[in-house]
Amino acid sequence: MSADEEKAKKQREAGEREAARLWRAWRTVHEMVQDRGYELTDEEVKISFDNFKYNYASDGEEDIIDRKKMKFSARPSDAMMVRYSNPPTAADPNPASPDIGTIWVEFLPDSSVGIKQMRAFAQYLTSHNFHTGILVTNVNITPAALKIIPAVASETRIECFVEQDLLVNITHHELVPQHVLLSKEERTALLQRYRLKDTQLPRIQLGDPVARYFGLRRGQVVKIIRKSETAGRYASYRLCV
């Protein structure tokens, strides 16, 4: 085999590996968006490797995936709207509409992500009226760029993930119990049932990997269902802080 052929083969293999990585991240992001309750078809979520390569290969070379093409949006399902809705109370008979909306997911090809890229992403989200945006990057985002997120929090919600963290879907691991987000009504019912203040619940951090996966917000309560040897199933509740 000549040196050129060998080099080409190596390049192809590297491209293949990169494509496999991206495919796994792509599937995890789709599962994440679906698990949160957005509308996605099963074909979209369970895309095969060949289909993925066919759809997202860059125009010139077939081996290389073009990250610029990897973007999609999803609308919240009716069930999700119900889960996020504010129940009417005596003081407030006409509560505000649920704080949820279309989500936009984008993979960023840049080899470094600074304020410029984040600002562009935030502007894209606000101009297209996306409620939430998920930015998947190849590299770590600079600390200064992360300060944009609270600055634009009133207009749009930005979440950032690194490709490497999305290679595996952590919620499918056998040691990660099932997490279910409670609606506000269920939350008040729970607190009344056990006569608790919400601060008396056990807590889960906002930056917890599972909390990030489900996009939890401060004050929300998740029900965690574990297998128990003695009781079969054991449910506990955690407040997101």
Partner 1 sequence: MATAKQPKSILKKASYPATTSSKEDRDREVALYHANLIQQRKDIELNIFFSTETLIDYPLAKSPYDASNPSPTDAKEFKQFLRPFQPTDYDELIHERNTNEKCGYTLCPNARVKDGSGGKYRILGTNGKAKDFRVVEKEELEKWCSEACAKRALYVRVQLSESPAWERDAAGSTVNIDLLDEPKSAEGAIAEGLEKLNLEGGKAVKQQDAADLALERGDTGLAAKNGLVDVNIQEKEVQRPAQAPSLDDLSGRVDTMHLTLEGHTPEFGSRRQRRHTEDLENEEDPDTDWRM
Smallest separation, CB 27 to partner 1 (Å): 29
| Pair of tokens at residue 22 | 């991206």
Short-list 129, 113, 125, 127, CA closest to 158: 125
* CB neighbour list of residue 213: distance below 8 Å, 6 or more residues apart: 32, 35, 170, 171
d(CA 66, CA 196): 51
- Residues 105-144: x/- map of binding to partner 1 (CB under 8 A)? -------xxxxx--x----------------------xxx
Task: Name which of 139 and 168 has its Cβ closer to partner 1.
Answer: 139
d(CA 157, CA 176): 26
Task: Give, as ranges, the residues between 144 and 173 that touch partner 1 (CB under 8 A).
Answer: 144-145, 147-148, 151
181 is an interface residue for partner 1 by CB under 8 A: no
Q: In Å, how far are 101, 156, 205 from 148, measured between CA atoms? A: 20, 11, 21
- Residues 4-33: x/- map of binding to partner 1 (CB under 8 A)? ------------------------------
Task: Name which of 86 and 142 has its Cβ closer to partner 1.
Answer: 142
Q: Are 163 and 22 in contact (CB under 8 A)?
A: yes
Task: Name which of 65 and 122 has its Cβ closer to partner 1.
Answer: 122
Binding residues with partner 1: total (CB under 8 A): 13
| Pair of tokens at residue 183 | 């609606």
Residues near partner 1, by CB under 8 A: 112-116, 119, 142-145, 147-148, 151
